[in-house]
Structure 1
Amino acid sequence: MSLADSDRELVVSELDREPTRAEAALFENLWSEHCAYRSSRPLLSAFDSEGDQVVIGPGDDAAVVALPDSGDGDGTSDTYITMGIESHNHPSYVDPFDGAATGVGGIVRDTLSMGAYPIALADSLYFGEFDDDHSKYLFEGVVEGISHYGNCIGVPTVAGSVDFHPKYEGNPLVNVACVGLTNEERLVTAEAQEPGNELVLVGNATGRDGLGGASFASEDLAEDAETEDRPAVQVGDPYAEKLLIEANEALVDENLIESARDLGAAGLGGASSEMVAKADLGAQIELDRVHQREPNMNAMEILLAESQERMCYEVEPDNVDRVREIAEKFDLGCSVIGEVTDGNYVCTFEGETVVDVDAYFLGEGAPMNDLPTEEPAEPETDLPDADLESAFDAVVASPNTASKRWVYRQYDHEVGVRTSVGPGDDAAIIAVREAEQGLAISSGAAPNWTDVAPYEGARAVALENATNIAAKGATPLAAVDCLNGGNPEKDDVYGGFTGIVDGLAEMCETLSTPVVGGNVSLYNDSVAGPIPPTPTLAMVGAKDGYDAPPLSVETDGKLVLVGDLGLEAGDVRLGGSEYLAQFDGSDRFPKLPDDPTSLVETLAAVADDDTTLAVHDISHGGLAVSLAEMVTDDAGLEVSLPGDDPAGELFHEQPGRALIQTESVEAVREAFDGVAPVVELGSATDDGQLTIDVGDRTIETDASEISERRATIERELE
């Protein structure tokens, strides 16, 4: 680790002396892109983070949002949820199991630090092409790490996404979101409260794992990263995390915590300095007091190690003994490491002062980058001439659109007995009985979309997540984002990243969905090149009750499409589609609906109507994949399309569309009058067959054949 020359000059000017070795390492990590957002912070003001439901917005370990009142939904309840999202991209390349597992552990501890109990996880994963052996190795290891950690701590993984794209070959992405549950009385923040309060470290002992993790996450991955950077990857212990979850709950129950911060990026130095900096306070910390699991650790190692399953609490002196008793009850280490002061952030080791800096300067003093951008060129139209039946088979069987059952069946998505709708549907639903509300959760991005059109693709990602939630009868409440990009020092890469920020912000504001927190991960470059700009969005929505229409059709009822078939003015756009990815074509990205807010609100209302039998959004793979996903062994579909442009009708991926099986087509038409077109496609059958008439062509298959085609991942990995 080394502090950049320009940063060192700034530090020397502020301190009026050379920094100590420990100080230089602290600045190097806390001023890294991963912690200070030096290239992205100037862009993040584009997001609207305010709303009556927002209790705590960006800047804390997790955001806090009030659920609506049950019943008419007018006003907010006293039941709060927390929302957070984190990336563990570079660690998951170097060590897929531990990198992904500790990503889960970190976002769960962010939830704990707000006084909340974790109730749901969502993971969005991105890898190189599926037929590449190294991509499969990373994929298997990451899924195993997430399932192991989440299952052991008893938090259900209920939603997420998996995408494969050649540009992730040298740099996969692992983005994990967590939702927690709390209320006003239990709420804790990361802002220190009072000089004289003690700082108490609770959890696992500190070792040397994860040293320099923040700075490692702020660099391009080198060719030898899998071996050279392994010491920067943390090693998790989910059983200790489970004990920490329960201990934290006990501490919150007894009102023993004044403020809290989990030990993540930059370890103890990051957590403790950020706590006091938020209140413009300081701290006096004796590093010798930190309970350690390795001998002869030096000051810098104790400060910066990112050993997992640790929390830093601010505790009133009279409550320290009780905190220690609770830690001992759960077999957790406990060290009183110092106190909050009204001076500098000071750390001593073996009687020597090794850090003495202004906490605010340490946390907020990093200079922001002013980088040039280059807007991506609009792609030319080069459409393949593929056989329709072969194209249907290829798109339905693509790893991007195929069943992800191999992934989510490894996750315990029912632990906690709150899961009403689990993974594999458009959105999950968690029962928040405390507020008599169902909480819909959708998470993901679309690298094919944002690679072709960063701005419009990111707008589409936001609309797609909102449509997923509306398909379950819920309306969007809030969102958090994980903005992943390549090396921002490259004009075209930073241009693409700027596009996804602006596009996501614009559509979320249009949908009146505040973006209440998030994470930025840049320098996702490797010898294989930069990743596609990837705006993972985790969105939640609320609804009265916990029931929702299924994705699969019943044996009787009409099927309608809400939205545009893509035929108006002959302007079918296939850009970003799986169809073009399969057959090496290019095109402009589809137009988005003119009034997405009314569309989402109306879809949510229709989904909850008694005459609605099933709802499924149309997105990746277009109408072809959505139809294939709706049939079962017991219920099929007979549909007919105009056929003027068969490939366009079947495979274009304009978001903001949905398929609705209904007992009353007229009721659906009336609901969407003036909002979106409603096209009657056909009827359900009782034979499990899928028949699609497209002009003078017919595609015929059945549920068992579709299941076999869509089992692409299982076939390859089992």
Structure 2
Amino acid sequence: MTLDTVKHATETPDVEQPWAELGLKKDEYERIREILGRRPTGAELAMYSVMWSEHCSYKSSKVHLKQFGEKAPQNDAMLVGIGENAGVVDVGQGYAVTFKVESHNHPSYIEPYQGAATGVGGIVRDILAMGARPVAVVDPLRFGAADHPDTKRVLPGVVAGIGGYGNCLGLPNLGGEVVFDACYQGNPLVNAGCIGVMRHEDIHLAKASGPGNKVILYGARTGGDGIGGVSVLASETFDDTKPTKRPAVQVGDPFQEKLLIECTLEVFREKLVAGIQDLGGAGLSCATSELASAGTGGMRVELDTVPLRDATLSPEEILMSESQERMCAIVEPQHVDRFMEICEKWDVIATVIGEVTDGERLEIFWHGDQIVDVPPGTVAHEGPTYHRPYARPEWQDALQADDAGKLPRPATAEELRAQVLQLVSSPNQASKAWVTDQYDRFVQGNTVLAQPEDAGMVRIDEKTNLGVAIATDGNGRYAKLDPYAGAQLALAESYRNVAASGAKPLAVSDCLNFGSPEDPAVMWQFAEATRGLADACLELGTPVTGGNVSLYNQTGDTAIHPTPVVAVLGVIDDVTRRTPIAFAEEGQLLYLLGDTREEFGGSAWSQVVHDHLGGLPPKVDLARERLLGEILIAASRDGMIDAAHDLSDGGLVQAVVESCLRGGNGARLVVPDGLDAFTFLFSESAGRAVVAVPRSEELRFTDMCGARGLPATRIGVVDGDAVDVQGEFSVPLAELREAYEATIPGLLA
């Protein structure tokens, strides 16, 4: 077979090429020919196909994502924003923290264990590439119906993959979510996040500058696993008529990644690296084109020098492979020997595969023959930009008119009690310990808060007790009812969770999970959600530092609920002053902060009791969220509260039950004047939290709330061994615990 060189491509303009099979549209293929002034070689076609895929190029979403820059709030903490491997924020004392959330949805459905494991590995390398030591991971997860047979296949594999990879790396898993809904059947959402810590001066960027500098590929050998990988899998809708995509799922080796982490951190310490990029989606195609595009010159690569696990791989396959545990570094010639010594010390394979040139082209050779000659920016950053048509779906009005407030409510105290137990034992509200117990939450000894707390928290300085907190949230049911408000509610809940722990919210990363962008209704959902999130970030002062878009999450014509997942990072000066959720001491006074209204659209109660989705989601009041956050942070810092729990899915009763079970103490509740017991217990009004106040601090706390204009209503006391709603019902903690803890193990038995 004749090697398809640049010379051969120039001489054979009419050769048929498999552009459609590689996921390109006809006009995209024609655009590539126009850029090059000839047909592409097979290797060039492979590079453009993966880099211009939906997953890598954001071709359907970037016209909307630009709002995150246009509406970005002024924030002095921002050090590195959108466009790099991950965002970086200043957390004080000379420390910087980098964090990001990404998706590995489609691979995790095809091969749950490896899909989820390599999702963790990929996000960890993104953080590492910024110059930081990874210190913790989080994992927001969504699965199909809890009782569906396929959920029993996907969920255990995903959880085992996350736990197996993260535990082997020695990274604590601090938080996330586990949500069940039939809309995710066949399209589970496996989002993974990571936090890394470094000093300000240690920040590294992905760029290849300095002619003569060497391009070094180091880490695992390149194999046939992951060819196309997420770049292809995440760029089309699943269809039962298509062949299996199993070979495209990457295979991870966490022990190799651990060596890669330590090796990379050592070369950083010795300042041997001029630029660096991890190999994730699109593999070498991405690393070489992005490094060259972000630098000041070109790049020449000898592809046949790449260490292989499979000697039969073609040049195209090497360029498309997404084999894991690989990095690409730009190293000045005088540092190459020392770089190689450190790699050898850590038993990491390292190979010089090319060098930075003073030209403007990315040139790749195979045994001396040139197979790629492209402007790198056209591969990395100048892919198609689609202004997809979008329109509010015809069914949206009817959905919003189907008000959940009209659903039958419990008529007696006995029915109210029964529905509390029904809610607490439902898959989405029940304990997720079956999942989280498979994760090491306390490795490294710096974990301060972890699941099932409102936010995860880690100490980053042992002398000063400086720490950071992170929470991830996203309610697809709210977003289905109103995508604009749903995205804002996701941000508000994450913001509230971080503040409830005592940390000050600083910045945002997001993972925007939606159906096919070729459906105008889905694109309307996406446009509304991004607009809502950008507007809310501006008002709350929390800039988006980066993130991920995952589209084509649908099977046939059935799309998932629009699911914007929002991660909020916060900083706390002293982790010993953090606030847990547990009601730990009898006699603590319980206060409800915020206003409670009859808001049941998209609520857990409407789903669990009536299997209903309709109406409007809770009203968003971002000024109230900000005020509530300030009160929670001040109260935590000054020792005015012993516990705090945000109110969200399941309302007040869910939060109280969780805090009681966490602390091993009951609570006596009194329904406030002006509210009925049902609304008091089940409403999901936003901007609320329940706090436990020591009696000695009651006056100081209520004076602070009154002076700031935040409603604070005393609703009870921590007492006894039951949740007792005065005049209504009482449920022993033992009965609640059995209901809360038995559900998930029972479903997965």
TM-score strictly above 0.5:
yes
Are the counterparts in 1 of residues 466 and 575 from structure 2 also a CA contact under 8 Å? yes
| AA of the residue aligned to 2:645 | H
Query: Residue in 1 aligned with 2:692?
Result: 661
Is 1:110 aligned to residue 126 of structure 2?
yes
Query: Residue in 2 aligned with 1:99?
Result: 115
SS at match of 1:710: helix
Of residues 179-188 and 633-642 in structure 1, the stretch that sits farther from structure 2 once superposed is 633-642
What are the within-5 Å matches in structure 2 for residues 265-304 of structure 1? Answer: 265-304=281-320
Query: Residue in 2 aligned with 1:637?
Result: 667
Match 2:605 to one of 566, 569, 579: 579
Aligned CA-pair RMSD: 1.6
SS at match of 2:201: coil
Query: Residue in 2 aligned with 1:472?
Result: 501
SS at match of 1:641: coil
Match 1:450 to one of 479, 497, 505: 479
What are the within-5 Å matches in structure 2 for residues 678-717 of structure 1? Answer: 678-685=712-719, 687-693=720-726, 698-711=728-741, 712-717=743-748
Of residues 447-456 and 254-263 in structure 1, the stretch that sits farther from structure 2 once superposed is 447-456
**What do the CA deviations read for 1:86-132 (whole angstroms, capped 9, x no partner)?**
11000000000000000000011111111111001010001111111
| AA of the residue aligned to 2:611 | D
| AA of the residue aligned to 1:16 | G
Query: Residue in 2 aligned with 1:74?
Result: none
Match 2:450 to one of 422, 445, 454: 422
Shift in Å, 1:350:
2.1
Are the counterparts in 2 of residues 165 and 447 from structure 1 also a CA contact under 8 Å? no
Query: Residue in 2 aligned with 1:71?
Result: none
How far apart, CA to CA, are the structure 2 residues paired with 1:28 and 1:250? 35
> Runs of 5+ in structure 2 lacking a partner?
1-20, 411-415
SS at match of 1:223: coil
Is 1:677 aligned to residue 711 of structure 2?
yes
How far apart, CA to CA, are the structure 2 residues paired with 1:680 and 1:152? 46
How far apart, CA to CA, are the structure 1 residues paired with 2:659 and 2:698? 18
Query: Residue in 1 aligned with 2:139?
Result: 123
How far apart, CA to CA, are the structure 1 residues paired with 2:73 and 2:288? 26
How far apart, CA to CA, are the structure 1 residues paired with 2:488 and 2:200? 33
| AA of the residue aligned to 1:268 | L
How far apart, CA to CA, are the structure 2 residues paired with 1:471 and 1:503? 23
Of residues 355-364 and 365-374 in structure 1, the stretch that sits farther from structure 2 once superposed is 365-374
| AA of the residue aligned to 1:364 | H
Query: Residue in 2 aligned with 1:385?
Result: 408
Are the counterparts in 2 of residues 170 and 529 from structure 1 also a CA contact under 8 Å? no
- Percent identity among equivalent residues? 39
Shift in Å, 1:492:
0.8
Are the counterparts in 1 of residues 176 and 472 from structure 2 also a CA contact under 8 Å? yes
Query: Residue in 2 aligned with 1:569?
Result: none
How far apart, CA to CA, are the structure 2 residues paired with 1:596 and 1:611? 19
How far apart, CA to CA, are the structure 2 residues paired with 1:275 and 1:659? 49
SS at match of 1:369: coil
Shift in Å, 1:292:
0.5
Shift in Å, 1:386:
4.2
Match 2:560 to one of 531, 538, 541: 531
How far apart, CA to CA, are the structure 2 residues paired with 1:472 and 1:98? 33
Are the counterparts in 2 of residues 384 and 584 from structure 1 also a CA contact under 8 Å? no
**What do the CA deviations read for 1:3-33 (whole angstroms, capped 9, x no partner)?**
3210111111111100111111111110111
**What do the CA deviations read for 1:502-524 (whole angstroms, capped 9, x no partner)?**
12222222111111111111111
Shift in Å, 1:397:
1.1
Are the counterparts in 2 of residues 689 and 701 from structure 1 also a CA contact under 8 Å? yes
SS at match of 1:406: helix
Query: Residue in 2 aligned with 1:406?
Result: 434
Are the counterparts in 1 of residues 143 and 180 from structure 2 also a CA contact under 8 Å? yes
| AA of the residue aligned to 1:363 | A
Shift in Å, 1:240:
0.3
Of residues 431-440 and 462-471 in structure 1, the stretch that sits farther from structure 2 once superposed is 431-440
What are the within-5 Å matches in structure 2 for residues 58-97 of structure 1? Answer: 58-68=82-92, 77-97=93-113
Is 1:361 aligned to residue 391 of structure 2?
no
SS at match of 1:629: helix
How far apart, CA to CA, are the structure 1 residues paired with 2:208 and 2:314? 27
| AA of the residue aligned to 1:384 | L
What are the within-5 Å matches in structure 2 for residues 21-60 of structure 1? Answer: 21-47=42-68, 48=72, 51-60=75-84
SS at match of 1:681: strand
How far apart, CA to CA, are the structure 1 residues paired with 2:505 and 2:43? 45
Are the counterparts in 1 of residues 595 and 687 from structure 2 also a CA contact under 8 Å? no
> Runs of 5+ in structure 1 lacking a partner?
69-76, 567-571
SS at match of 2:75: coil
Are the counterparts in 2 of residues 277 and 363 from structure 1 also a CA contact under 8 Å? yes
Match 2:248 to one of 228, 232, 238: 232
SS at match of 2:728: strand
| AA of the residue aligned to 1:470 | A
**What do the CA deviations read for 1:262-310 (whole angstroms, capped 9, x no partner)?**
0011111111110110125321001000000102211101111000000
Query: Residue in 2 aligned with 1:4?
Result: 25
SS at match of 1:424: coil
How far apart, CA to CA, are the structure 1 residues paired with 2:664 and 2:352? 63
Query: Residue in 1 aligned with 2:682?
Result: 651
Match 1:146 to one of 154, 162, 182: 162
Are the counterparts in 2 of residues 195 and 341 from structure 1 also a CA contact under 8 Å? yes
Shift in Å, 1:156:
0.9
How far apart, CA to CA, are the structure 1 residues paired with 2:678 and 2:57? 46
| AA of the residue aligned to 2:62 | R
Kindly tell me: are residues 280 and 27 of structure 1, through their superposed partners in 2, closer, same or farther at Cα, counting changes over 3 Å? farther
Are the counterparts in 1 of residues 276 and 328 from structure 2 also a CA contact under 8 Å? yes
Of residues 429-438 and 504-513 in structure 1, the stretch that sits farther from structure 2 once superposed is 429-438
How far apart, CA to CA, are the structure 2 residues paired with 1:454 and 1:462? 12
What are the within-5 Å matches in structure 2 for residues 543-582 of structure 1? Answer: 543-547=572-576, 548-553=578-583, 554-566=585-597, 572-582=598-608
SS at match of 1:308: coil
Are the counterparts in 2 of residues 558 and 682 from structure 1 also a CA contact under 8 Å? yes
How far apart, CA to CA, are the structure 2 residues paired with 1:82 and 1:374? 36
**What do the CA deviations read for 1:466-488 (whole angstroms, capped 9, x no partner)?**
11111111110111111111101
**What do the CA deviations read for 1:197-234 (whole angstroms, capped 9, x no partner)?**
00000000001111112022111112267x61011100
Match 2:179 to one of 142, 158, 163: 163
**What do the CA deviations read for 1:365-413 (whole angstroms, capped 9, x no partner)?**
2121111222352512143214322221121111111111111111111
Shift in Å, 1:634:
4.3
SS at match of 1:650: helix
How far apart, CA to CA, are the structure 1 residues paired with 2:631 and 2:318? 55
Match 1:346 to one of 358, 363, 366: 363
Are the counterparts in 1 of residues 491 and 567 from structure 2 also a CA contact under 8 Å? no
SS at match of 1:368: coil
Of residues 175-184 and 576-585 in structure 1, the stretch that sits farther from structure 2 once superposed is 576-585
| AA of the residue aligned to 2:276 | A
| AA of the residue aligned to 1:551 | I
TM-score by length of 1: 0.95
Number of residue pairs matched by the alignment: 700
How far apart, CA to CA, are the structure 2 residues paired with 1:363 and 1:609? 50
Of residues 187-196 and 126-135 in structure 1, the stretch that sits farther from structure 2 once superposed is 187-196
**What do the CA deviations read for 1:33-78 (whole angstroms, capped 9, x no partner)?**
111101111111222275211111111111111113xxxxxxxx32
Shift in Å, 1:668:
2.7
How far apart, CA to CA, are the structure 2 residues paired with 1:275 and 1:515? 23
Of residues 548-557 and 473-482 in structure 1, the stretch that sits farther from structure 2 once superposed is 548-557
Is 1:483 aligned to residue 512 of structure 2?
yes
